[in-house]
A and B are shown apart, each in its own frame.
Chain A
Amino acid sequence: MLTSSEQLEKRFTLYKFHSIPDKAHFLNSNKASIRAVVGNASAGADAQLIHQLPNLEIVSSFSVGLDKIDLAKCKERGIRVTNTPDVLTDDVADLAIGLMLAVLRRLCQSDRYVRSGQWKKGDFKLTTKFTGKSVGIIGLGRIGLAIAKRAEAFRCPISYHARTEKSDVNYKYYPSVVELAANCQILVVACALTEETRHIINREVINALGPKGVLINIGRGPHVDEPELVSALVQGRLGGAGLDVFQDEPNVPEELFGLENVVLLPHVGSGTMETRKEMADLVIGNLEAHFLNRPLLTPVL
């Protein structure tokens, strides 16, 4: 099976921008010929790049998140934008629950306990039951709803906050994130990253969640005020955290490395063989559709 890069290389002339040492020189020499950009969760097309590519027609993102793309600029220039919705919903929702289980039941620490030989000296300590814990979800879109459905199988009461209350769900709505945090034991970030949702998890929310509360972030690093989160965890003001995303990936605050009430993952939300193939198919499908003048598969713009 070809990798995404290999598949792109078969059909298009592919430049791997992140591997190019002198980006300015490269852009100067090639800008006129570049008609498409393939981005992902870490890099897309900001205003500067768009400005430097006068013949850019389409940005196809290998992600559902659009926070790395200057959508306003794209709209202004008439540049098409596509992403990869739906195909990764299950994996990301699965991971949210996986993180909840891993944090509450100390899965990683238990594994370490056995591997380091400590079990021979005595039993591991008691952890905390996951079933029945109340789960608060920020953002009840595709991913948020998928998380809710899974958590319900564990008898978790579900509550949520979103821009507007949804009339077709049975979950309790809270008009503010702080109120949601104060009324749930596990808070999960599942909304898009926009100007409004940057640092939606701040000191006030963290304090409301409290010393027995657990934060799960499968959204974007900048959803969380990371220094605040780190100090709350280190000081015990927050009970625990399961984090798949960080402010400045792949760098993770080292103060977290020594904590046993956190699970840290290297942005693997959609990281399965099955889903990455579907995402790649969508990216390539969208590019091919564009260049063949056919309707785009998953257009945002």
Chain B
Amino acid sequence: MAGENPNFQNTDPPTVLVHRFPSFDFPPGNRLSTQFHLLDPITSPPTSPVLLHSIRALLCIGPVPVTPETLNRLPSLQIIVGSSAGVDHIDLTECRRRNIAVTNAGSAFSEDTADYAVALLFGVLRRLPAGDRYVRDGFWPVNGDFPLGFKLGAKRVGILGLGSIGSEVAKRLAAFGCSIAYFSRKKKTSVLFPYYENAIDLAANSDVLIVCCALNDETHHIVNKDVMVALGKEGVIINVGRGPLVDEKQLVEFLVRGELGGAGLDVFENEPNVPKELLERDNVVLSPHCSVATPESFEALQDVIIANLKAFFSNKPLVSPVQKD
């Protein structure tokens, strides 16, 4: 294959095909274009189909689907480099079948996402956006004291998915005095927090459920009606994973009926649409899928993407391969 050389610093930079929705792109001034030859079909459609046939690396920007059809057009593809922690938009089964490696954002986003999960929890328990609104709308001098919130450290926190993000959430909330427990595909032997075998048992023993697991066939609607009943009337759900991890219709009903204490949601089943019942509630904090939207995250993401691509083109171990189930 022409142009591919482990010592690519001395030759042309290797070619990487970019796969994205037209509305998605990296912020300008990114470092990727200086290190690799990025072929972007949206800005410059390839003149020859043979070029696509020789592509070994695909860079996925944003949640654009990678389907069997996508893969059929790229017979030489060996790696898909994702730009998010979640890879639910990539057909992993097909990739496995064709021996195509997949990498994700690794831990580039973990701290920011964990910070945001904590911020959402504060928002719900200590009523931050509601309190801020109360002041700005001029109610403080008129209506007096603001209603009381709830103490963070008194809450038992259940983390759904103790991966990179879940671990960072646990570390932070433990410092506030929260007791931590978790559910994960497998129990983690090096972790001292109590482990529960399923989401319902975790919910039954928690006051707050923080959803930060990957979205796949097993975890779709993992937070369902039974989990919400187990969590209880004062329970709080924080979702910084993916919208479909939570049965949104049930969540809305539980909140409207007062059978759930509150929710902090950064993700939804049909973004950017948010159920209008949620827009009217004071015990809910909403955010526009921005848990990783910091310049620091994007710098870290570029580091991970560059590291993965460099490792691939030099035949070295990948930095953040998505683990096989």
Interface residues of A (CB under 8 A from B): 90-91, 94-95, 97-99, 101-102, 105, 107-108, 110-115, 119-120, 123-132, 149-150, 152-155, 249-252, 257, 263-266, 268, 271-276
- Complex CA gap A271/B148 in Å reads 5
Task: Give the nearest-CB partner of A112 in chain B.
Answer: B129
Interface size on B, residues (CB 8 A): 56
Q: With contacts A90-B153, A124-B290, A129-B296 known, is A98 near B119, CB below 8 A?
A: yes
Chain A residues with Cβ under 8 A from B290's Cβ? 110, 123-124, 127
A94 touches B136 (CB 8 A): no
In the complex, the answer to whether A102 meets B123 with C-beta atoms within 8 Å is yes
Task: Give me the interface of B with A, judged by CB distance under 8 Å.
Answer: 111-112, 114-116, 118-120, 122-123, 125-129, 131-136, 140-141, 144-146, 148-154, 171-172, 174-177, 271-274, 279, 285-290, 293-298
Q: Are B128 and A102 in contact (CB under 8 A)?
A: yes
Question: Does A275 contact B151, Cβ atoms closer than 8 Å?
Answer: yes
Assess whether B174 is in contact with A273, with CB atoms less than 8 Å apart: no
Interface centre among A99, A112, A131 (most CB of B within 10 A): A131
| 14 extra A-B contacts, CB within 8 A, seeds A128-B295, A265-B128 | A97-B122, A98-B128, A101-B122, A102-B128, A105-B115, A110-B286, A114-B279, A114-B288, A119-B288, A120-B273, A252-B140, A268-B146, A268-B149, A271-B146
Instruction: Report which of A99, A102, A264 forms a contact with B135, defined as CB distance below 8 A.
Output: A264
User: Is the CB–CB distance between B141 and A101 below 8 Å?
Assistant: no
A154: B residues at CB distance < 8 A? 115, 172
Which listed residue, B115, B145, B293, touches A130 by the CB 8 Å rule?
B115
Q: Is the CB of B115 within 8 A of A115?
A: no
- When distances are taken between beta carbons in the complex, the residues of chain A under 8 Å from B136 are 257, 264
Known contacts A124-B290, A149-B175, A266-B146; is-contact A129 B119 (Cβ 8 Å) = no
A94 touches B287 (CB 8 A): no
- Asked whether, in the complex, the Cβ of A271 is within 8 Å of the Cβ of B149, the reply is yes
Q: Is the beta-carbon distance between B287 and A114 smaller than 8 angstroms?
A: yes
Query: For chains A and B in complex, what number of residue pairs have CB atoms within 8 angstroms?
Result: 167
Given A128-B295, A129-B111, A266-B140, verify A105-B116 contact (CB < 8 Å): yes
A153 is contacted by which of B146, B154, B172 (Cβ under 8 Å)? B172
A105 touches B119 (CB 8 A): yes
Most buried by B among A123, A249, A265: A265
Q: List 30 A-B contacts (CB under 8 A).
A: A90-B151, A90-B152, A90-B176, A99-B128, A105-B115, A107-B129, A107-B285, A107-B287, A110-B290, A114-B279, A115-B279, A119-B288, A124-B293, A126-B293, A126-B295, A127-B293, A129-B295, A152-B175, A153-B175, A154-B115, A249-B140, A250-B140, A250-B144, A251-B140, A264-B135, A264-B136, A266-B146, A272-B151, A274-B150, A275-B151
Chain B neighbourhood of A275, CB < 8 A: 151
Determine which of A97, A114, A153, A264 lies in contact with B132 in the assembled complex, contact meaning CB atoms within 8 Å: A264
CB distance from A101 to the nearest CB of B (A): 4
Residues of A within 8 A of B152 (CB): 90, 94
Q: For A251, give its contact among B112, B119, B141 (CB under 8 Å).
A: B141
- Determine whether the beta carbon of A153 is less than 8 Å from that of B174: yes
B252 CB to closest chain A CB (Å) equals 15
